Amino acid sequence: MCIFCKIASGEIPAELLHSDDQVLAFRDLAPQAPTHILIIPRVHCENVDELAEQHPQTLSRIFLVAAQLAKSEGLSGHRTVFNTGESAGQSVFHAHLHLLGGRPLAWPPG
Ligand code: AMP
């Protein structure tokens, strides 16, 4: 089982901020901003491309939860990112949306 499936099943602890039948959200272990939250589908998909094709409603729900969390974290602006593939920085191959905020975010990203 992959590490995020283990978090979804409760086998590995995480600082959960949201949990429902489709999606959960928890704080990133190595935060890159004052707010750095990961929002993941419970279903295992390797990346967002697979998620979009197989579970579009879950993908939509992920963005809805991100918007709710951005509000509850009091962010004045935020960035949402899916890294897809090693060359784009993906290191965990279970789709996850990064929600970042709480500091100025430069553009373009590195
Ligand atoms: P990515 O590089 O886009 O695949 O993002 C993976 C993210 O998962 C990284 O930001 C890691 O810090 C984070 N991460 C890895 N393991 C855990 C964990 N057990 N709990 C919380 N975040 C994690």
pLDDT in tens, 28-66: 999 999 999 999 999 999 999 999 999 999 999 999 999
Centre of ligand 1 to C-alpha 91, Å, is: 7
Instruction: Please list the helix, strand and coil fractions of the chain in percent, rounded to the nearest 5, in that order.
Output: 30, 25, 45
Residue 3: how many other CB atoms lie within 10 Å: 14
Q: Could you give the domains of the chain?
A: 3-101 (3.30.428.10)
Instruction: Say whether 98 is catalytic.
Output: no
Centre of ligand 1 to C-alpha 24, Å, is: 14
Which of the listed residues 92, 94, 98 should we mutate to test ligand 1's pocket, taking the one with most ligand atoms within 8 A of CB?
92
Secondary structure of residue 29 in the 3-state scheme: coil
Residue 110: what pLDDT? 82
- The per-residue pLDDT for range 60-90, each reduced to its tens digit, is 999 999 999 999 999 999 999 999 999 999 9
pTM of the model: 0.98
Residue 88 in contact with ligand 1 by CB distance below 6 A? no
Rounded to the nearest integer, the mean pLDDT of the chain is 97
